[in-house]
Amino acid sequence: MTFPCRCQSRSEREHGHHDHNDHSHHGPGLTTLYLETVGDTNLSDQQEGTRLDMTTGIGYYLTEKLELRTGIRFPLCHPKRFDSQFIFSAVRCF
């Protein structure tokens, strides 16, 4: 789950109104903290049970449409598929 702040587009800053054709997302320098929980259940093998993982991390916008993210994922219950995972990603917003 991510809770980004609403940033004004260049058009809003320059003209004081929202331009619906402006596809910019967030301004450079915006930092986002995130926390995700993901679960899955193997429906063909009920003995495995449900597995839950949690990811926490930080995202930083280099430009209006390019965000770098880093975080750590760890299991919340057994059976554990892994001890922990470090995640590094680049996200391009279209």
Residue 28 lies in a domain: yes
State the Cα–Cα distance between residues 27 and 9, nearest whole angstrom: 8
Query: For residue range 8-41, what is the model confidence (pLDDT) as tens digits?
Result: 555 555 655 555 555 555 788 899 899 999 888 8
Residue 80 lies in a domain: yes
Q: Identify the three-state secondary structure at position 46.
A: helix
Count CB neighbours of 83 within 10 A.
7
Q: Give the domain CATH number at 65.
A: 3.30.1300
- How many alpha carbons fall within 13 Å on the CB side of residue 5? 13
What are the percentages of helix, strand and coil residues in the chain, rounded to 5? Answer: 10, 45, 45
pTM for this entry: 0.59
Residue 4 lies in a domain: no
- Domain total in the chain: 1
Query: For residue range 50-81, what is the model confidence (pLDDT) as tens digits?
Result: 889 999 999 999 998 899 999 999 999 877 77
Residue 3 lies in a domain: no
The domain in which residue 38 lies consists of 10-92
